[in-house]
Structures are given as C-alpha cells and as structure tokens.
C-alpha cells in the first residue's frame, strides 16, 4: 500500500491502493447513468452483505448519522428505547434518543465485560420498549456483544433489534435473514460506516432495514428529520438517477471497490481472518506484559483496548510509536492514560501487525522496559499459523 503511516486505530483503517485508485477517478455527474450503475451496484452489494434486508441506504454522512436514522425512523416521541451499552459508543444512543423526545433506559456493562442475558430479560419486564439498541463492537472497550443471546430475548419482548455495526460490519456476521435461536428472531436494523472493517475512506452512512423496521417507519406519519428520513432517500436507492441530495460520487466509487473486495473474500473467510488477527495481536502484546481490557471470550476481532504495564506513560508511548509511523489511539473516559486502543481490521495484513508488534517492543525497550520481541512475534505467529490472509 502507498500509505506512509500504519493507521492502527479503531477507524479510519488502512486503505488499499485499488480503493484509492477508485476514489481518485474523474468525478461524474451524480445523475449520470454511468454513476447510477455504480451507485446501484454498491447498494445491491450492501444488501448482499446483510443477506438481503428489505431496504438498504448508502448516503453521505458518518456512522453517527446512521445511528440517528435508525432511531428516528423506528421510534416516535414519547415511546421507550432500551440501550444495551458496552462502553462509550453504546452510551451515545442515550443523548441521541433524548434529543428526539424518546424515553430512554440504559443497561451499562462494566467496561471490559458483556451485559448478561439475565439483566436484559429483567429490564425488558419493566417497560414496553419499541426498540433495543446494541453496539456490536464498542470501540472504547474492545468488547463484542453476544448477539446470539440478545436477539431472541429482545424479539420475545416484541421490540425491534437495532444493531450498531460501525466497528463490526464485514468482520462479524450480521445476517438479517438468519433466525437467532427461535422463529422470527432476526436483526431489524444494522447501521455502519465505511471507514472501519469495510476499509474505505470515511464519509458514508450505511444502514439496512428489515420488513418489520420498514413497517415501523410506515406507521409514523411524520418523523423529526428531513435528511435522515428514509422516505426522502427511498427513490434514490431504487433509482440513483433520481435526486434528493447530492451523493459523494468519489466515495461511492471507493465503496464499490471495497465491497467487491469484501464479497470476493467471502464472509466466512473474512470473519475467521478477523478472529485470528484479534487473538494473535492480543497474545503478542500479553508477551510484553500488557493486558487486554476484555477477556478473550468477550474480546472483539476488530480492535483491542490494551492496559499498559506499570510505568508506561501513555502520551510518550504513543508519540514514540507515531514517530516510527505506527498510529494507535488513546483510551477514553476513565481509562484515558491507562490504556491504548489498536485496530486490526479491514485491509490490515499480518505483515502490518508484525511491524507494529516489533515497533511496540522497541518503544517499550526505549522506555526502559525489558521485553522479548521474538517471543511476542512467536506468540502472534502461533495463533495465526498458516491461515489464509489478505495481502
């Protein structure tokens, strides 16, 4: 790749040269039939990714816009939403929903741990909820939600299941046709962005709705939104030569290229690759005396929150890594200064991760910590083995 730095943060993530090449193509008119074919293909590939939901939308905006679209198109003012939060980004649904007059309850996990099914069952008994939000991977903690357990519990209570896939989509299964544990127990909404495991540049809000979620929008006479109202976008998704708002033409080029890469690799192989990356990088960093915040059974395949050993100054550590061209992210909230976050998703390769492991070891040595880089690399390779990887 022509990237000059190795961007191993929770997103954006490394962009492949062919995706950059697509991005840099000559800009067409947004209603040009040639662009319309590219846009429509991108939408159809999005539906294929989520196993053909009723409707899918790919528009200019961030994952936060997709969060807003998910809520305003399904839950009306005065109705109740349950937020299942595994960290900072799960919590963001609370002020978002309150901004639209929605009643909100939240179950918050201890950072680094998963919400128990029992806690959700008990909370669902307290009120009638129109919808429940779950962040598939919370980028503040590196915790993956157990949606296999949560979906049937939520659907038995009669609520819509809204899945925030921003740091999970294309690295974890998000199959909207699959029944989880019982008849009819399906995901109703998946929302995401372009810049994480998908591996395209940031700037696209991506969201898919089940038939039940579409019906929820149809039952709302009006929604407190204009740009985020899916009614205004539906004609464009059906026929991209139609106009509502100007789409980000070059970003759509890049997204189409990225989605071709995703579907060519195949979701089964892609999920396995990300699981191997996550386990391998954590095992390597443990060899340096570091500790993942989440235990392995709750740890995400896309990023890890790593606690420093005693005596490592966060800003010094990350600055020294940045000087070497390795960019990692600081931790959030009460973990600020106590941990860093490293992404291992999308177009990331084993060679990139090995480079990061070596540089992290050298920085730790420079800061006076005794580590064995060879042992960390060995731990990484033992987990990854000879598995097929993306190059």
Q: Quick one: pLDDT at residue 3?
A: 78
Is 128 in the same domain as 271?
Answer: no
Q: What is the CATH number of the domain that holds 168?
A: 3.40.640.10
Q: Quick one: pLDDT at residue 388?
A: 40
Within a domain: residue 4? no
Within a domain: residue 36? yes
Q: Quick one: pLDDT at residue 2?
A: 74
Q: Which of 94, 81, 61 is nearest to 225 (CA)?
A: 61
User: In terms of residue numbers, what domain contains 295?
Assistant: 266-384
Q: What is the pLDDT of residues 239-256, one digit of tens each?
A: 999 999 999 999 999 999
Q: How far apart are CA 251 and CA 22, in angstroms?
A: 9
In our burial notation (b when 16+ CB lie closer than 10 A, e otherwise), range 326-350 reads bbbbbbbeebeeebbbbbbbbbbbb
- Give the model's confidence band at 385: pLDDT under 50 very low, under 70 low, under 90 confident, else very high: confident
Q: Quick one: pLDDT at residue 391?
A: 40
Is 37 in the same domain as 24?
Answer: yes
Q: What is the pLDDT of residues 176-214, one digit of tens each?
A: 999 998 999 999 999 999 999 999 999 999 999 999 999
Which of these three, 225, 247, 264, is where a domain ends?
Answer: 264
- Give the model's confidence band at 30: pLDDT under 50 very low, under 70 low, under 90 confident, else very high: very high
Q: What is the pLDDT of residues 46-62, one digit of tens each?
A: 999 999 999 999 999 99
Q: Is 361 exposed, middle or buried (0-12, 13-18, 19+ CB in 10 A)?
A: buried
Q: Quick one: pLDDT at residue 389?
A: 45
Global pTM value:
0.96
Residue with tokens 């980000």: 248
Residues 282-311 have a mean pLDDT of 97
Within a domain: residue 9? no
**Angle at Cα 159 formed by Cα 155 and Cα 165, nearest 5°?**
80
Q: Which of 190, 185, 116 is nearest to 146 (CA)?
A: 116
Is 232 in the same domain as 93?
Answer: yes
Within a domain: residue 390? no
Q: What is the pLDDT of residues 312-323, one digit of tens each?
A: 999 999 999 999
Residues 367-390 have a mean pLDDT of 85
Q: Quick one: pLDDT at residue 106?
A: 98
Residues 274-292 have a mean pLDDT of 98
Within a domain: residue 317? yes
Within a domain: residue 12? no
Is 243 in the same domain as 325?
Answer: no
Q: Given a cut of 70, is residue 67 above it in pLDDT?
A: yes
Residues 297-311 have a mean pLDDT of 97
Is 34 in the same domain as 91?
Answer: yes
Is 48 in the same domain as 145?
Answer: yes
Is 289 in the same domain as 153?
Answer: no
Q: How far apart are CA 262 and CA 91, in angstroms?
A: 29
Which of these three, 264, 289, 306, is where a domain ends?
Answer: 264
Residues 355-383 have a mean pLDDT of 97
Q: Given a cut of 90, is residue 262 above it in pLDDT?
A: yes
Q: Quick one: pLDDT at residue 390?
A: 43
Is 138 in the same domain as 29?
Answer: yes
Q: Please report, rounded to a whole number, the percentage of residues in the chain having pLDDT higher than 90.
A: 96
Is 46 in the same domain as 112?
Answer: yes
- Mean residue pLDDT of the chain comes to 96
Q: What is the CATH number of the domain that holds 293?
A: 3.90.1150.10
Within a domain: residue 8? no
Which of these three, 241, 264, 287, is where a domain ends?
Answer: 264
Within a domain: residue 10? no
- Number of domains within the chain: 2
């Amino acid at each position: 790749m022509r990237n000059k730095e190795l961007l191993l943060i929770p997103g954006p993530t490394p962009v492949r040269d062919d995706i950059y090449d697509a991005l840099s193509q000559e800009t067409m008119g947004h209603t040009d039939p040639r662009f319309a074919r590219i846009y429509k293909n991108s939408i159809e590939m999005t539906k294929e990714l989520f196993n053909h939901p009723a409707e899918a939308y790919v528009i200019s905006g961030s994952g936060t816009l997709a969060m807003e679209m998910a809520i305003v198109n399904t839950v009306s003012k005065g109705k109740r939403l349950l937020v299942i939060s595994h960290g900072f980004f799960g919590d963001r649904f609370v002020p978002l929903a309150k901004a639209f007059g929605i009643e909100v309850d939240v179950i918050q996990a201890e950072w680094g741990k998963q919400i128990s099914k029992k806690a959700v069952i008990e909370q669902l008994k307290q009120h009638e909820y129109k919808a429940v939000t779950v962040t598939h991977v919370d980028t503040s903690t590196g915790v993956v939600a157990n949606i296999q357990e949560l979906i049937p519990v939520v659907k038995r209570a009669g609520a819509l299941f809204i899945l925030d896939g921003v740091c999970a989509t294309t690295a974890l299964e998000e199959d909207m046709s699959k029944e989880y544990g019982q008849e009819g127990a399906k995901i109703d909404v998946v929302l995401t962005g372009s810049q994480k495991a998908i591996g395209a540049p940031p700037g696209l809000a991506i969201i898919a709705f089940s038939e039940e979620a579409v019906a929820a929008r149809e039952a709302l006479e009006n929604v407190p939104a204009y740009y985020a109202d899916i009614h205004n976008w539906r004609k464009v998704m059906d026929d991209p030569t139609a106009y509502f708002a100007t789409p980000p033409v070059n970003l759509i080029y890049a997204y189409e290229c990225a989605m071709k890469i995703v579907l060519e690799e195949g979701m089964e192989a892609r999920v396995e690759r990300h699981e191997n990356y996550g386990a391998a990088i954590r095992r390597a960093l443990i060899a340096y005396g570091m500790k993942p915040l989440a235990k392995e059974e709750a740890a995400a395949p896309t990023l890890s929150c790593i606690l420093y050993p005693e005596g490592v100054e966060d800003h010094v550590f990350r600055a020294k890594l940045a000087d070497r061209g390795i960019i990692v992210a600081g931790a959030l909230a009460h973990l600020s200064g106590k941990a860093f976050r490293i992404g291992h998703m999308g177009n990331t390769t084993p060679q990139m991760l090995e480079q990061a492991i070596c540089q992290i070891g050298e920085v730790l040595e420079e800061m006076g910590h005794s580590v064995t880089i060879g042992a960390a690399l060995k731990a990484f390779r033992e987990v990854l083995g000879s598995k097929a990887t993306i190059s």
